[in-house]
Structure formats: C-alpha cells, structure tokens
C-alpha cells in the first residue's frame, strides 16, 4: 500500500508500520489488524456512544438496497466525475459498506481506502477484497499522512474541509456528493406529509471555501420503481424512517416510482498563499456550476428553505 497510516493515540500521530497482525508506531502504540483485514484506530475520546456511526440495522438496510441495483446508474454517473490512474490512492470518507469504494477501485484500478466510524459498516465493507479500511472518526484528525490521496470522496457522508485538504495531493480532487433537492421526494411526501425541495449546493460550496474551489457540478437524477421492502430499506439507510408512526406509513406504501437525486460536486484544492496559513486566508472567487455535463444545473425554482 502506498499510503502511510498515522497513530491515533492522542498527541502521537507518528507513522504506523505493519508487523504481522498489528500496526505499531515508534512509541510502541499498537493496533490489531482484524480478522477481516481492517484496523480500528478509534480512541475512546473519538466516540460519543458505545456503538458510534451507523447501526448494524442501517448498514444492512443500505446493503440490501444497494445490492438491488437501484443506485447502479448513479454510481456510474458519479464515477464519471473522477479520473484516477491505476495505483493512485482514493479515500472515501464515511465509506459505509463500501459500495462506491469498491465500484471506483474496480473501475480505475486505483488503491481504495475507506474510513468509517461504524464497525458494522467497515465489517461489511471488508467483504470486498483489496480495500484498505479503517475505523476512525472523520470529524477529528484523519489517520493518514499529508498529501496521501489523488482523490477524496465523501458520498452522502461527513465533511471535514481542513482534514480533506491536508490529505489530498496538490493536484488531487475532492468529490462531494450530497442529496439533491428532490431526492426521495415522493416518499417524503407520503411519509412526512410534505416533500420540501432543499437545495444544499451553495452551503456545501461555502463550507469548502477557501480551501477548495468548485470545478464541476452535476445534478444526477434517476427515477426507479421501488417495492415496499426497498422503500423501507432506502428510508432506513438514509435515516428517514424515524418514528414508529412513520414506519407504519412506510409499511403501507406499495410499489412506487421514486426519485433518487444527487448533487455531485468536484473541487480542486486551492494552493495556500506564500506566508499565510496552510489553507490561505484568501476567499475563493464566487463559483458557478459548470454548464458542461449530462445534466446542467439551473437553480431549482421549487427550492424551498431548509426542511
């Protein structure tokens, strides 16, 4: 593997080296490699609950939904934004059960690294051969050396602009994928009684300035027919199943045409200015989505304020 992992013991951050079935740092901190090949670098102070991240039930629901092929078209279209040479390293932050990471490593022949806070998610991801997987909290320091990755992806997952910038190469790319305004709108209407169209793009772009500049934006949509089981899974996997009353309403839904929608944002890192902090103090100029691509992205007239 071409990427150096860093020790997660508070104040250490020294490189980890592999020794048979464990990783150790020069201070002799040591981490077992799990039977399935991943490493749990989570420290007690990095977790807020005994079982942090997605539950086993949410992971299983997402895995069933993905294995139904409902996101295959989105997966291909999201991958179209990436360019990776064989052997280059890709990191997916909040990689869940590894569907996207596996698809992209298979497509590009690149080295696939995934980090997630959830042990059940990483256990599930580890069934894909060849991935380099770590349990860690991506809201804290990422356990990778500076400039390790040609690309970092966050797909409906965590955002940590400072750490993403640190671990991306100067010529690398950040792929951020967020739910589009009309994602699951039919289900939200049926279950919540309203389907607000919330556009999250401007906020996401602002959150990554000044460290990253938007290079490309695609709004990707796919309408698919879901039966009751798939509806339950997609709502559970996206945390929208919620309370018992909602689950009852979900159970009553028959086959339905449902919109899956994503805003895929490709950013390039902004070079720090000489003499300033790492991320620079300069604000990036206002960015507009590129007109190129499959589905250019005009402002959605139906967009409403936050749900």
Q: Is 95 in the site for ligand SAM (CB under 6 A)?
A: yes
Q: Is 139 in the site for ligand SAM (CB under 6 A)?
A: yes
- 93 — phi, psi (to 5°)? -90, 125
Q: Which residue in 244, 248, 254, 125 sits closest to 186, CA to CA?
A: 254
Residue 118 interacts with, from Zn ion, ligand SAM, none (CB under 5-8 Å by kind) = ligand SAM
| Residue 272 Cβ vs Zn ion, minimum distance, rounded to whole Å | 28
Pull the structure tokens for residue 106.
């298979």
Q: Any bridge partners for residue 113, and if so which?
A: 91, 132
Residue 7 interacts with, from ligand SAM, Zn ion, none (CB under 5-8 Å by kind) = Zn ion
Residue pair 107/79 in contact (Cβ under 8 Å)? The answer is yes
User: Which of the ranges 76-84, 142-150, 156-164, 193-201 carries the binding residues for ligand SAM, by CB under 6 A?
Assistant: 156-164
User: Which of the ranges 2-10, 78-86, 135-143, 209-217 carries the binding residues for ligand SAM, by CB under 6 A?
Assistant: 135-143
Residue 9 interacts with, from Zn ion, ligand SAM, none (CB under 5-8 Å by kind) = Zn ion
Q: Is 155 in the site for ligand SAM (CB under 6 A)?
A: yes
Q: Is 141 in the site for ligand SAM (CB under 6 A)?
A: no
Among 3, 4, 24, 29, binds Zn ion (CB under 5 A): 29
Among 16, 53, 201, 264, binds ligand SAM (CB under 6 A): 53
Q: Which residue in 52, 55, 303, 54 sits closest to 179, CA to CA?
A: 303
| Residue 254 Cβ vs ligand SAM, minimum distance, rounded to whole Å | 25
Helix (H) or strand (E) holding 187: helix 185-192
Q: Is 27 in the site for Zn ion (CB under 5 A)?
A: yes
The C-alpha atoms of residue 70 and residue 224 are separated, in whole angstroms, by 7
Q: 294-298 contacts: CB < 8 A, separation 24 or more?
A: 294/77, 294/80, 294/218, 294/220, 295/218, 295/219, 295/220, 295/221, 296/219, 297/201, 297/217, 297/218, 297/219, 297/263
Among 96, 143, 181, 269, binds ligand SAM (CB under 6 A): 96
| Residue 114 Cβ vs ligand SAM, minimum distance, rounded to whole Å | 9
The C-alpha atoms of residue 92 and residue 306 are separated, in whole angstroms, by 27
Contacts of 269 (CB under 8 A, 6+ apart): 165, 168, 169, 170, 172, 174, 211, 212
Q: Is 102 in the site for ligand SAM (CB under 6 A)?
A: no
| Residue 291 Cβ vs ligand SAM, minimum distance, rounded to whole Å | 27
User: Which of the ranges 90-98, 163-171, 225-233, 292-300 carries the binding residues for ligand SAM, by CB under 6 A?
Assistant: 90-98
Residue pair 278/219 in contact (Cβ under 8 Å)? The answer is no
Size of the chain in residues: 307
Binding site for Zn ion (CB under 5 A): 7, 9, 12, 14, 25, 27, 29
- Binding residues for ligand SAM (CB under 6 A): 53-54, 62, 94-96, 99-100, 115-118, 121, 137-139, 155-158
């Amino acid at each position: 593997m071409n990427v150096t992992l860093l020790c997660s013991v508070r104040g250490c951050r020294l490189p980890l080296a592999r020794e048979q079935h464990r990783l150790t740092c020069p201070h002799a901190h040591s981490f077992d490699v799990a039977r399935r090949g991943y490493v749990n670098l989570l420290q007690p102070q990095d977790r807020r609950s005994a079982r942090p991240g997605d539950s086993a039930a949410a992971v299983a629901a997402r895995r069933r939904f993905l294995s139904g092929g409902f996101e295959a078209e989105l997966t291909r279209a999201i991958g179209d934004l990436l360019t990776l040479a064989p052997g280059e390293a890709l990191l997916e932050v909040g990689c869940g059960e590894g569907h996207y990471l596996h698809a992209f490593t298979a497509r590009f022949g690149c080295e696939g690294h995934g980090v997630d806070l959830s042990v059940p998610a990483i256990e599930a991801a580890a069934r894909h051969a060849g991935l380099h997987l770590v349990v860690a909290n991506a809201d804290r320091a990422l356990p990778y050396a500076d400039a390790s990755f040609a690309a970092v992806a966050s797909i409906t997952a965590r955002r940590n602009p400072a750490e993403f910038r640190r671990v991306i190469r100067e010529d690398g790319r950040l792929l951020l994928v967020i739910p589009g305004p009309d994602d699951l709108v039919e289900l939200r209407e049926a279950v919540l009684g309203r389907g607000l169209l919330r556009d999250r793009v401007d906020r996401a772009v602002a959150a990554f300035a000044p460290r990253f500049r938007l290079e490309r934006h695609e709004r990707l949509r796919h309408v698919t027919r879901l039966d009751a089981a798939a509806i339950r899974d997609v709502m559970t996997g996206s945390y929208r199943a919620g309370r018992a009353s909602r689950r009852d309403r979900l159970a009553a839904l028959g086959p339905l045409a449902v919109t899956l929608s994503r805003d895929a944002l490709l950013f390039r890192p902004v070079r720090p200015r000489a003499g300033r902090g790492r991320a620079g103090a300069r604000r990036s100029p206002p960015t507009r989505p590129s007109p190129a691509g499959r589905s250019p992205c005009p402002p959605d007239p139906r967009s409403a304020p936050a749900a």
